[in-house]
Chains A and B, each alone.
Chain A
Amino acid sequence: DAKTTQPTSMDCAEGRAANLPCNHSTISGNEYVYWYRQIHSQGPQYIIHGLKNNETNEMASLIITEDRKSSTLILPHATLRDTAVYYCIAHTTGGTSYGKLTFGQGTILTVHP
């Protein structure tokens, strides 16, 4: 998996959009950008993933730059329950990796009332 770089921590006001950046300048052509989050004392939870195009689901939106060297996860209306560590992972489930995920330090997102 390509290395990713994220800010250590971020704050966001409740109800506002939370924009979490991620750099993955060495990402290879077959690696997707995955986002997981870990709420305190729980297991990691899948959020979203994408290859080239922007993606949106019920949880978040993922914006990937055209050169694929960086991306932004957007939580459109952050709530207190979105306080968690957010992990950006460049990853492919194909080949011999068999879905192995390489977690970095992630970004601690704190949502304030």
Chain B
Amino acid sequence: DTAVSQTPKYLVTQMGNDKSIKCEQNLGHDTMYWYKQDSKKFLKIMFSYNNKELIINETVPNRFSPKSPDKAHLNLHINSLELGDSAVYFCASSLTDMVRNTEAFFGQGTRLTVV
């Protein structure tokens, strides 16, 4: 019973291609995120969706377009891939509770390599 699952786990593609990464959570959470971990291992948030609405967009190039068809899914589409997009992308989810602080659950990551 994987809580947050991402597909694919590995993605190798050429520069200029368009690719998508899918994420699904079965925890009943209302908020989902995409994080990027670069070669220096820094984890940085890219996007956050709450109830299918974009909440956080951390100055990510508009080649990156998240799509949330429902609360359980947050997909990441990347257009015109560049070498610098090579990284590990993590999906995460959490339950937004204004009273009780909760924790985030992360997927296993998608290692994207652009050649």
Contacts and interface: CB of A to CB of B under 8 A. Distances in A.
A91 B56 CA distance: 16
Interface string A21-46: 00000000000101000100111111
- Chain B interface size, as a band, is 20 to 34
B34 to A, nearest CB: 11
Contacts of A91: 101
B31 A85 contact: no
A113 interface: no
B50 A93 contact: no
Contact of A99 (B90, B96, B107): B96
Contact of A46 (B33, B45, B55, B104): B104
Contacts of B96: 93, 98-99
Nearest to B109: A43
Interface string A79-100: 0000001010001111110111
Contacts of A46: 103-105
Interface stretch (B14-22, B36-44, B64-72, B75-83): B36-44
Nearest to B102: A93
- Chain A interface size, as a band, is 20 to 34
A9 interface: no
Given A99-B31, A99-B48, A105-B42, A43 B98 contact: no
B27 to A, nearest CB: 12
Given A46-B105, A93-B96, A100 B56 contact: yes
A43 B103 contact: no
Interface in B73-115: 90, 92, 94, 96-99, 101-109
Interface of A: 32, 34, 38, 41-46, 49, 51, 85, 87, 91-96, 98-103, 105
Interface of B: 4, 31, 33, 41-45, 48, 50, 55-56, 90, 92, 94, 96-99, 101-109
